[in-house]
């Protein structure tokens, strides 16, 4: 019984994240179908992983992003306009010494791979084609 009570609350919480964090003007059904969202919600609910998935956001909220750690690996940045945090290119150049790709897209949000899969794949291919 407890699981059945938790599902509507968890579904509402994740749906709210789709509304807030997709490039959909708070209408996630315009970029994701109800079946896609329900599938995603079930991937958190069935194995009981919602808390561990949300923990990453809580842990990252404590990071001091003004302290620049330098990364020497090849890095590509695709900046989607409705992402939760969009780092400026000037910061990225300081943090990533081998910044090989930077692109600011005209649509997409935090769930870019889910809501704009073709754009996301095109970005990956364009970025890492440089390393072939």
Sequence-ordered strand ranges (E) for 70-119: 75-79, 99-104
Confidence of residue 1 (pLDDT cuts 50, 70, 90): very low
What are the start-end ranges of the H helices in the chain? 2-21, 34-45, 50-60, 89-95, 112-115, 117-129
> What's the mean pLDDT when you consider all of the chain?
88
Q: Does pLDDT of 6 surpass 70? A: no
0.85 exceeded by pTM? no
Q: What are the domain boundaries of the chain?
A: 2-60, 75-129
Give me the count of residues in the chain.
Answer: 132
For the stretch 64-108, pLDDT in tens is 766 667 889 999 999 999 998 888 999 899 889 999 999 999 999
For the stretch 68-80, pLDDT in tens is 678 899 999 999 9
């Amino acid at each position: 019984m407890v699981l059945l009570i938790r599902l509507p609350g968890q579904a509402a919480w994740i749906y709210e994240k789709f509304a807030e964090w997709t490039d959909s003007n708070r209408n996630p059904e315009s970029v994701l179908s109800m079946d896609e969202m329900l599938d995603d919600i079930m991937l958190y609910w069935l194995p009981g992983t919602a808390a561990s998935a949300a923990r990453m956001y809580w842990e990252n909220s404590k990071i001091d992003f003004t302290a620049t750690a330098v990364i020497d690996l090849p890095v590509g940045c695709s900046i989607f306009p409705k992402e939760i945090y969009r780092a400026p290119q000037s910061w990225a150049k300081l943090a990533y010494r081998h910044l090989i790709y930077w692109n600011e897209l005209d649509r997409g949000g935090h769930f870019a791979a889910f809501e704009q899969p073709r754009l996301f794949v095109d970005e990956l291919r364009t970025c890492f084609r440089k390393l072939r």
